[in-house]
Amino acid sequence: MLRLDKYISNATDLSRSDAKRLIKNGVVCIDNEIATNPAQKINDDQDITIEGSTISKAGKRYFMLNKPAGVVSVTKDNNNPTAISLMYEHRSEELQVAGLLDIDSSGLLLVTDDGQWNHRLTSPRSGYAKIYRVELAEAITPEYPQLLAQGVLLEGEKHRCMPATMEIIDDYNINLTIAEGKYHQIKRIFAALDNHAVSLHRFKVGDIELDPKLQPGEYRPLTPLEVACIL
């Protein structure tokens, strides 16, 4: 719950005093009722408009970052740069990564301050497909598609992984689609197949694709459509 004036200043470029002035002028509505009190508490389900236009909900921000290798996706690390430190955003301490990538992996990292959206994307039951370009140390063998389809048993696990699919790029490179996020899953899948994943680059999560215009280290806000495709 946030005060209305704070909510407006979080969600727009306006200062709190601008917000107070607009409220006084009678152009701010909460759920279609004219707002009069800047201190009124607002929750995320309420629709706030200024001169008839809905403002985005305060604190709900969604980004895609093209994570370079060498950057950690956890929020705090004493020895390496964090993904969030590459993002020049206000209140960056409220941002969380939705779906980790290892330090040596690169590509599509989703970042948000919407905990519910993050949970919908990353909960073990969500099943959103993630696609990675994987470079292997040893050439792929003809059995790989079948082994991946039946689910690989990782060292130290009791249950097989969910089925994965692969698209062959060449003998050493594939696009691998998985729908889970076990710890170091892809590295462990190829270790179990007596191979070694040399590099991993994620380029798609659900229907959200890494924007080819983003250079490593660059990021952009998600479009409303990209946000909406995580249901």
Residues that bind ligand URA (CB under 6 A): 101-102, 105, 184-187, 200
Our CB check for ligand URA shows the closer of 95 and 197 to be 197
Least gap, CB of 66 to ligand URA (angstroms)? 14
Residue 140 is given by DSSP the state: -
Least gap, CB of 155 to ligand URA (angstroms)? 13
Given the residues 5, 18, 77, 102, the one annotated as active site: 102
Our CB check for ligand URA shows the closer of 98 and 200 to be 200
Residue partners of 221: CB distance under 8 A and separation at least 6: 61, 62, 63
Our CB check for ligand URA shows the closer of 122 and 185 to be 185
Least gap, CB of 127 to ligand URA (angstroms)? 15
Assess whether 102 carries a catalytic annotation: yes
CA-CA distances (angstroms) from residue 81 to 46, 67, 72, 101?
37, 11, 6, 14
CA angle 136, 137, 141 (to 5 degrees): 65
User: What is the greatest pairwise CA distance in the chain?
Assistant: 71
Active site residues: 102
